[in-house]
Amino acid sequence: MTAEEMSPKFLTLQPGGAVGEFAFDCEIAAMLVSLPDDPSLYFDLGEPHLMVPLEHLVNARARERGIINANRHMLASANGRQEKRKPLTVRPLGNELWLVMDGNSTLLNARHSNWRAIPCSTK
């Protein structure tokens, strides 16, 4: 099995605006700590939000440095060393899909950790 076949796939916005499938970078994945599927450890859930299944979310971008930094921030939040972040900001794309406007790197960490759903705001 090749590294490409072992990399989880996710939906992302392609140049030109089409939604396509993209493979998670194995080298980046190797640098990430897997995070327990408990959004209350990482997110301030005091504001209205939706729990959106990960398969309904489309990443607007994937930046290597952002993904690694998000992993560190999420671990620090879970350990009480920093404030929790607000839910991801999303907008509807149609066909039950949501485009992530803010929180792309956080979403990629959730994908890497095999979460089922993540808190999102439509503000």
Determine phi and psi for 14, rounding to 5 degrees: -90, 160
Return d(Cα 60, Cα 58) in angstroms, integer: 6
Which residues share a beta bridge with 88?
A: 120
Q: Which of 64, 65, 111 is nearest to 88 (CA)?
A: 111
The pTM for the full model equals 0.88
Q: Tell me the torsion sign for CA atoms 70, 55, 45, 100.
A: positive
For the chain, what is the largest distance between any 2 Cα atoms, rounded to a whole number of angstroms? Answer: 44
What is d(CA 88, CA 7) in angstroms, rounded to the nearest whole number?
24
Q: What is the pLDDT of residues 7-34, one digit of tens each?
A: 567 777 877 777 878 777 788 889 999 9
Give residue-wise pLDDT tens across range 19-73.
Answer: 878 777 788 889 999 999 999 999 999 999 999 999 999 999 888 899 999 999 9
Question: Dihedral angle at the C-alpha atoms of 78, 114, 26, 88, nearest 10 degrees?
Answer: -60
**Domains of the chain and any CATH numbers:** 3-121 (3.90.1530.10)
